[in-house]
Amino acid sequence: MAIHIYADFNNCEENGKVRLNTNGSLSDLSEVNDKIHPDMSVWLYDEEFEVEAKLEYNQKWKIWLGAPNWSTIRYFNDSLPIHASD
């Protein structure tokens, strides 16, 4: 089963990686903490869309980051994900 983690896509580093340190992200991460690892593929989501991402852990700041693969974006329509190319 795919892991979904809430992301605030405005909370990005200069390289485009999303910091997963907001309340929503931390809540989702706490539920799967024993299942995740660096370089793992997960789905990041917000209220409008979801996108596949690779996880990274920043040792210095002690936070998880997600590196989105924007070619996988799926927009939500009536609570159902729809792939951008559909």
Please enumerate in sequence order all residues whose Cβ is within 8 A of that of 20, keeping only pairs 6 or more positions apart, or say none.
5, 7, 26, 29, 44, 63, 64, 65, 66
Residue 28 is predicted with a pLDDT of 97
* H helices present in the chain, as ranges: 23-32
pLDDT for res 1: 76
Mean pLDDT value across residues 42-69: 97
- Identify the band that residue 86 occupies on the pLDDT scale cut at 50, 70 and 90: very low
Pick from 7-16, 56-65, 77-86: least confident = 77-86
Q: Which CATH architecture has domain 4-80?
A: Beta Barrel (2.40)
Domain spans in the chain, listed from the N-terminal domain onward: 4-80
